[in-house]
Amino acid sequence: MIRQIKTDHAFYTKIITLDPVFTPIADAWRFKDTATATINSIIKFGEDLKDAHKTRDGIYNFSTRYWKGSFEYKRIASQGFCLFADKSILMTIGQKDSLLCVVRMMAGILWDEDNMPFSESSGVGLGTANMPYMYRGGRNFFALIFNNDSDFQDRAKKVLEGIRSDM
Protein backbone atom coordinates (compact mmCIF):
# COMPACT_ATOMS: atom_id res chain seq x y z
CA MET A 1 0.00 0.00 0.00
CA ILE A 2 2.84 2.39 0.83
CA ARG A 3 4.49 1.78 -2.53
CA GLN A 4 1.21 2.20 -4.39
CA ILE A 5 0.38 5.46 -2.59
CA LYS A 6 3.86 6.75 -3.44
CA THR A 7 3.75 5.82 -7.13
CA ASP A 8 0.12 5.77 -8.22
CA HIS A 9 -1.50 9.21 -8.06
CA ALA A 10 -4.97 7.83 -8.87
CA PHE A 11 -4.72 5.36 -5.97
CA TYR A 12 -3.43 8.09 -3.64
CA THR A 13 -6.35 10.34 -4.61
CA LYS A 14 -8.85 7.53 -4.10
CA ILE A 15 -7.48 6.71 -0.62
CA ILE A 16 -7.55 10.30 0.66
CA THR A 17 -11.00 10.83 -0.85
CA LEU A 18 -12.37 7.72 0.86
CA ASP A 19 -10.66 8.53 4.17
CA PRO A 20 -9.57 12.17 4.51
CA VAL A 21 -8.22 11.44 8.01
CA PHE A 22 -5.56 9.32 6.28
CA THR A 23 -4.30 12.30 4.21
CA PRO A 24 -1.42 13.26 6.56
CA ILE A 25 -0.04 9.72 6.39
CA ALA A 26 -0.49 9.35 2.64
CA ASP A 27 1.25 12.70 2.23
CA ALA A 28 4.03 11.66 4.61
CA TRP A 29 4.58 8.52 2.59
CA ARG A 30 4.70 10.52 -0.65
CA PHE A 31 6.66 13.58 0.45
CA LYS A 32 9.78 13.68 2.64
CA ASP A 33 9.01 17.19 3.92
CA THR A 34 5.54 16.11 5.03
CA ALA A 35 7.01 13.10 6.83
CA THR A 36 9.40 15.37 8.72
CA ALA A 37 6.58 17.79 9.54
CA THR A 38 4.37 14.94 10.78
CA ILE A 39 7.14 13.58 13.01
CA ASN A 40 7.72 17.04 14.45
CA SER A 41 3.97 17.60 14.86
CA ILE A 42 3.52 14.41 16.89
CA ILE A 43 6.52 15.22 19.09
CA LYS A 44 5.19 18.76 19.63
CA PHE A 45 1.75 17.37 20.49
CA GLY A 46 3.43 15.22 23.14
CA GLU A 47 5.28 18.23 24.57
CA ASP A 48 2.06 20.27 24.63
CA LEU A 49 0.15 17.41 26.25
CA LYS A 50 2.80 17.02 28.93
CA ASP A 51 2.76 20.79 29.54
CA ALA A 52 -1.05 20.76 29.73
CA HIS A 53 -0.87 18.17 32.50
CA LYS A 54 1.88 20.01 34.35
CA THR A 55 0.81 23.63 34.11
CA ARG A 56 -2.68 23.91 32.62
CA ASP A 57 -6.01 22.11 32.61
CA GLY A 58 -4.66 18.58 32.13
CA ILE A 59 -7.52 16.17 31.52
CA TYR A 60 -9.95 19.06 31.35
CA ASN A 61 -8.28 20.42 28.23
CA PHE A 62 -11.17 20.66 25.77
CA SER A 63 -9.50 18.96 22.80
CA THR A 64 -8.09 15.96 24.68
CA ARG A 65 -10.57 15.07 27.40
CA TYR A 66 -12.32 11.74 27.67
CA TRP A 67 -13.77 10.34 24.42
CA LYS A 68 -12.37 13.27 22.46
CA GLY A 69 -8.91 12.62 23.86
CA SER A 70 -9.29 8.91 23.24
CA PHE A 71 -10.16 9.56 19.59
CA GLU A 72 -7.32 12.07 19.17
CA TYR A 73 -4.77 9.80 20.86
CA LYS A 74 -5.69 6.88 18.59
CA ARG A 75 -5.37 9.11 15.52
CA ILE A 76 -1.96 10.40 16.54
CA ALA A 77 -0.65 6.96 17.54
CA SER A 78 -1.84 5.53 14.21
CA GLN A 79 0.01 8.27 12.35
CA GLY A 80 3.18 7.50 14.29
CA PHE A 81 2.97 3.79 13.56
CA CYS A 82 2.34 4.46 9.88
CA LEU A 83 5.51 6.55 9.83
CA PHE A 84 7.39 3.57 11.30
CA ALA A 85 5.88 1.30 8.64
CA ASP A 86 7.62 3.19 5.82
CA LYS A 87 11.27 2.19 6.10
CA SER A 88 12.27 4.94 3.66
CA ILE A 89 11.28 7.62 6.19
CA LEU A 90 14.50 8.37 7.98
CA MET A 91 14.27 9.20 11.65
CA THR A 92 16.93 9.65 14.25
CA ILE A 93 16.90 7.34 17.25
CA GLY A 94 15.87 10.38 19.30
CA GLN A 95 12.86 11.00 17.05
CA LYS A 96 11.83 7.34 17.20
CA ASP A 97 12.15 7.33 20.98
CA SER A 98 10.20 10.59 21.23
CA LEU A 99 7.37 9.21 19.06
CA LEU A 100 7.15 6.07 21.18
CA CYS A 101 7.21 8.15 24.37
CA VAL A 102 4.29 10.24 23.11
CA VAL A 103 2.28 7.09 22.33
CA ARG A 104 3.18 5.60 25.70
CA MET A 105 2.17 8.82 27.49
CA MET A 106 -1.21 8.90 25.74
CA ALA A 107 -1.80 5.26 26.70
CA GLY A 108 -0.91 6.02 30.30
CA ILE A 109 -3.24 9.02 30.45
CA LEU A 110 -6.16 7.05 29.04
CA TRP A 111 -5.70 4.20 31.48
CA ASP A 112 -5.04 6.31 34.58
CA GLU A 113 -8.20 6.38 36.70
CA ASP A 114 -6.87 9.43 38.54
CA ASN A 115 -6.48 11.30 35.25
CA MET A 116 -9.45 9.97 33.32
CA PRO A 117 -11.81 8.00 35.56
CA PHE A 118 -13.93 5.49 33.71
CA SER A 119 -15.41 3.45 36.52
CA GLU A 120 -19.05 3.94 37.43
CA SER A 121 -18.05 4.66 41.02
CA SER A 122 -16.06 7.73 39.94
CA GLY A 123 -19.17 9.87 39.71
CA VAL A 124 -18.06 11.25 36.36
CA GLY A 125 -20.71 11.54 33.66
CA LEU A 126 -19.64 9.52 30.65
CA GLY A 127 -21.59 11.55 28.09
CA THR A 128 -24.03 10.34 25.48
CA ALA A 129 -24.61 6.64 24.83
CA ASN A 130 -21.82 6.25 22.25
CA MET A 131 -19.10 8.13 24.12
CA PRO A 132 -18.20 5.35 26.60
CA TYR A 133 -17.71 2.98 23.64
CA MET A 134 -15.42 5.47 21.91
CA TYR A 135 -13.45 5.97 25.10
CA ARG A 136 -13.21 2.26 25.81
CA GLY A 137 -12.15 1.71 22.19
CA GLY A 138 -9.21 4.02 22.75
CA ARG A 139 -8.24 2.20 25.92
CA ASN A 140 -8.50 -1.15 24.13
CA PHE A 141 -6.40 0.13 21.22
CA PHE A 142 -3.54 1.05 23.52
CA ALA A 143 -3.89 -2.09 25.64
CA LEU A 144 -3.43 -4.21 22.53
CA ILE A 145 -0.52 -2.14 21.24
CA PHE A 146 1.32 -2.54 24.53
CA ASN A 147 0.14 -6.10 25.27
CA ASN A 148 3.71 -7.23 26.00
CA ASP A 149 4.22 -4.47 28.56
CA SER A 150 3.63 -5.45 32.19
CA ASP A 151 1.32 -2.45 32.73
CA PHE A 152 -0.96 -3.55 29.90
CA GLN A 153 -0.83 -7.36 29.76
CA ASP A 154 -3.86 -7.94 31.98
CA ARG A 155 -5.77 -5.14 30.27
CA ALA A 156 -5.07 -6.62 26.83
CA LYS A 157 -6.33 -10.01 27.96
CA LYS A 158 -9.67 -8.43 28.93
CA VAL A 159 -10.27 -6.59 25.63
CA LEU A 160 -12.20 -9.38 23.91
CA GLU A 161 -14.34 -10.03 26.98
CA GLY A 162 -15.13 -6.30 27.20
CA ILE A 163 -16.08 -6.09 23.53
CA ARG A 164 -18.38 -9.09 23.89
CA SER A 165 -20.08 -7.52 26.91
CA ASP A 166 -20.69 -4.35 24.88
CA MET A 167 -22.64 -6.25 22.24
The span from the CA of 2 to the CA of 6, in Å, is 6
pLDDT at 91 over 80: yes
Domain ranges across the chain: 31-166
Q: What is the pLDDT of residues 29-74, one digit of tens each?
A: 999 999 999 999 999 999 999 998 888 877 677 767 666 778 889 9
Burial class (CB in 10 A: 0-12, 13-18, 19+), 150: exposed
pLDDT at 25: 94
Q: Please, what is the average pLDDT of the chain?
A: 88
Name the burial class of residue 80, with classes exposed (0-12), middle (13-18) and buried (19+) by CB atoms within 10 angstroms of its CB.
Answer: buried
* pTM reported for the whole predicted model: 0.84
Contact 105, 68 (CB under 8 A): no
* 144-164 residue pLDDT tens: 999 999 999 999 999 998 888
Euclidean distance between CA atoms 104 and 91, whole angstroms: 18
